Amino acid sequence: MSAFSTVLITGASSGIGATYADRFARRGDDLVLVARDQARLDVLASRLRDETGVAVDVLRADLTQPEGLEAVSARLRDDDRIGTLINNAGLAQSGPFVEQTPDSVARLITLNATAPTQLAAAIAPRLAKAGGGAIVNIGSVVGFAPEFGMSIYGATKAFVLFLSQGLALELGPKGVYVQAVLPAGTRTEIWERAGIDINTLPDLMEVGELVDAALVGFDHREAVTIPPLHVAERWDALDGARLALFGDLRQAQAADRYRAGA
């Protein structure tokens, strides 16, 4: 077994996180499961121990609170067995931007953007020094689809994608694999918690199918995995267009269309 024998998963009590826990346990990896719901964590941990024989630790933490975020960060910094971080904990928020409260916006940004950044920062130096390990960040296709109308949620997921790509460029040469996983609509509790009737959403992917696809991308060391994207070349074209646009910037001069009298 590798020295990195343990996977830490946030948002592990249900949905995508719980399914990741099941899949990694069946691969023989020990687990640290993080979420707010102690009872659910305990039930999941007991089942996985019984069914797979792996060691499962439970760490109850609210990642929207400084003390919870620091407790998980400390575990990532100090536990040399942890070689994979699954940044899965997240929150959705529906409704028009003008109707959202400052507190609800701040909470969403903290959980969806600040928490994965701080947790990645906690583990990355140790992984880079060791020359191995992985960081998986769960984003969303909404991150490049403002038309969906979930402005703050989408902005946080755009941040997750950018963060993942930047970390991949920086940490990849040091032996650390970074993957961004971008689901579309998936059948999880996140919709109900956001006040959205799941029955009004068409064509939702089942959680098991999503995670199994994401793990294929993980095993292939994809930088960006989009399980519902059937034409992979679409992503290649989008990323290629981004690089071409950046290559066409001439920062010393404004474009002609922006000049006075144009």
Task: Return the active site residues.
Answer: 153
Annotate 32-55 with b (16+ C-beta within 10 A) or e (fewer).
bbbbbeeebbeebbeebeeebebb
Distance (Å, rounded) from C-alpha 200 to C-alpha 181? Answer: 24
> Which phi and psi angles does 255 have, rounded to 5°?
-65, 155
Q: Is-contact 4 83, C-beta < 8 A?
A: yes
> Which phi and psi angles does 189 have, rounded to 5°?
-75, -5
Q: Is-contact 48 126, C-beta < 8 A?
A: no
What letter does residue 14 receive in the DSSP assignment? S
Residue in 159, 82, 95 with CA at minimum distance from that of residue 126: 82
